[in-house]
Each structure stands twice: as structure tokens, then as C-alpha cells.
Amino acid sequence: MRTIGRTMLYIVLTLTVLALTACSNTTQESGTEANVAGTKGEPATRVVKDAFGEVTIPAEPKNMLVLSPSYAENMIEIGVIPNVVTLVKEIEPEYRPKLFDEHQVKMIQVEQYEDNFELLIEESPDLIIAQGAAIDAKKYEALSKIAPTVAVDAGITIEEYIPALGELFGKEKEAELALQKYSDKIEDTKQKLHNSIGDAKILVIRVEQKQYRVLGQEKDSPGSDMLYHKLGLNIPTKLKDNRDWFTPISLEVLPELDADYIFVEQRQMQNYSSEQSMKDLESSPLWQGMDAVKKGQVYPLKTADFVVGEGLIGYPLFMDYLVEKLVK
């Protein structure tokens, strides 16, 4: 009888341990699922790092709003389609609204250099993407009250922020391939230009409402980085030590600029006109006496293409324009 009793006790203990183990496994599995899927009935989330720390965002955003048209352009190129983008249509390159229409990205018109948080609230975004280099803590805080906001922690150049976008959205390979294609385009354009114009000097004049400015060699700035660094074109001798983006000049300086080719940017801005300044330039004897002007080697340049059109689509188009004008 004692033997039978001990056997029964052993069986009961064994079954109890097995039951407890099964419950433990079930609890662990349920806990893991909760970490991935979130609380039952709520969307899954994930934590990412941005320029201001860590932020919890939807794992699969349904209404993503992008504050930078160039970011939106480049996101599309690596396979991430935003739902909404803010832009100033008057200064956008022609191709970009067409790109957004093609991918059914809603465009929200905003005022240049002004914040309109009420307009963003109306869109009810569940995720906002912003350039970390372009916003401060105060604006970030305001945006975060509207929706989880990622201020992408990267520099201002394509080479810096596209890998960051790729990492954010799990598109690292696509970002790498896109940048390689972009790099190949630069090298091909550089070779064509140097084969055609050699060491010729390129001048860019910006015509503004009340002044004129010339492009310098500031690295990483739109236009100057592409022309004088990536493509390796030469700047007029008098400007060779100029490392600023744009420098104001008077028309009296024009005869001192030994430019072989001139690109004239009649600046585009919202509610802005530089038409009179352009007329004054063209009628100036100092302008008319420049060798490049007399030879007809002067070409227009749009702010939309030259500055605003920074992107995996826009910059190759800009390079094509340079080849069209300079390669004979």
C-alpha cells in the first residue's frame, strides 16, 4: 500500500510540474506577441532614434506627413510613399508636383518660411517626418503634439540623409542602390563636361529684388557643392578663395570676373519679383561688355531646379541641363 501511495504522489507532482511549465510558456509567448503588436486593439509601434532622442512611432503608419518636398521625392525613389507633403508650389521644380500626383501624395500648400500647425492638424497625420537639420527644439515640440515626429538625424546632403531614411524605413539596400546610381550620374556628367569645356570658368549670378550676388564654393550647399565640388568645374579667378554660398556684388565688379560661361538665376520666391533688377543687369554696359555675354554663352537658371530641386530626380535633371548647354 505504501508503494502504491508513493507512486500516486509522484504522478500527481509530475502532472503539476508539467501544467505549471505549460502555463509559463503560454505567458512568455503572449508577452512576446504583446511587444510586437502592442495592446490588443491598438496599432503596433516601434521606437526609433532621431535628432532629439527616442520617439515611438507606428510600425505601419497610415497617414504619414512629410515636411520636406525633397525628402518626399527621395523617399519615393527608395520605395517609401508618403501620404501628405507640404510645399510652396511657386518655387517647386516642374517635375515634382507631377511625381507626387503620380504616386497619389496629397500636396498641402504652405507659406514660405512660415509655420502653420493648424493646417497640419487638419490632415490628422499619425507620423510626421522632418529634417533634423532644419528644425529646432521648439518647433519639434509643437510638431510632436500633433503626431509622433521623427526629425531625421542627418546632414543636409543627399549622401548624408538618404542612408538615414533608408535605415528608418528598412530600405537600406534601396538607398544604397539609389545613391550608387546618383554617383554614377555625377561621374558621367563630370567626364562629359571636362571633355567639352576643359578648364573653362563658370560664373553663377543670382539676380534679386534689390541686389546681385555671385555663387561661391561653399561645400554642401545647393548648387555650389554640385558645380564646384562634385562636378569639379572652375570658378572665376577673383572668386577662387570665396567659400561662401552667395556673396553680394555691385555691377562695377563684373569686368573683373573672367567667366567663360555665365548662368543667371533670376531668383524665385513666394510673393517676390526680381524683374526690374534683371532689366537693369541686361541694360548695363558693364554686363554687355563681358566676354561670355558677347559670345552668347549666358544661360538662364531656375531657383526651382538649381536650389529647391535637390533630389535623386532633380539633380540628374540639373546635370542634364548643364550638359545640354555646355557640351557642344
pLDDT digits (tens, 9 = 90+) for 201-238: 999 999 999 999 999 999 888 889 999 999 999 999 99
d(CA 328, CA 323): 8
Domains of the chain: 45-170 (3.40.50.1980), 180-326 (3.40.50.1980)
The mean per-residue pLDDT over the stretch 239-261 comes to 95
The mean per-residue pLDDT over the stretch 183-191 comes to 98
The label of the residue with cell 554642401 reads 220
Number of CB atoms found within 10 A of residue 317's CB: 14
d(CA 276, CA 212): 12
Q: Per the structure block, which three cell numbers stand in for 310?
A: 535637390
Single out the residue of 147, 13, 168 nearest to residue 79, CA to CA: 168
Q: What is the mean pLDDT of the chain?
A: 89
pLDDT digits (tens, 9 = 90+) for 3-61: 444 444 344 334 443 443 444 443 333 332 334 455 566 789 999 999 999 999 999 99
Q: Per the structure block, which three cell numbers stand in for 264?
A: 543667371
What pLDDT score does 31 carry? 31
Per-residue pLDDT band for 279 (boundaries 50, 70, 90) equals: very high
d(CA 56, CA 46): 6
d(CA 70, CA 88): 12
